[in-house]
Amino acid sequence: MVEFGRIYPKLPLEKMARMKPVSYEARDSLTIPAYLTLSEGWSGPGPAVIMPHGGPWVRDTLSFDMWVQFLASRGYAVLQPNYRGSSGYGDRYESLGYGKWGRTMQDDLTDGVKWLVAEGIADPNRVCIVGGSYGGYAALMGAIRTPDTYKCAAAFAPVTDIKRFLRDHGDYVEDSYDYQRVAGSLDKDELEQISPLRRAKEVALPLLLAHGTADDVVPVEHSRELAEKLKGLDKPVKYLEMADENHHMEKSADRLLWFKELEAFLAEHIGTPSAEAAAAAPAQ
pTM beyond cutoff 0.85: yes
* pLDDT 10s digits, 244-275: 999 999 999 999 999 999 999 999 999 987 54
187-229: per-residue pLDDT in tens?
988 999 999 999 999 998 999 999 999 999 999 999 999 999 9
249 and 132 Cβ atoms separated by less than 8 Å: yes
Task: Report how far residue 108's alpha carbon sits from residue 27's, in angstroms, rounded to the nearest whole number.
Answer: 8
Give the Cα separation of 200 and 209 in Å (integer).
13
Please state the rounded mean pLDDT for residues 109-123.
Answer: 98
Q: Set out the domains of the chain in order of their start, with CATH numbers.
A: 25-270 (3.40.50.1820)
pLDDT at 283 over 70: no
Q: How many Å apart are CA 284 and CA 268, to the nearest integer?
A: 26
User: Looking at residue 7, what is its pLDDT?
Assistant: 84
* 8 A C-beta contact, residue 94 and residue 57: yes
Distance CA 224, CA 138 (A): 17
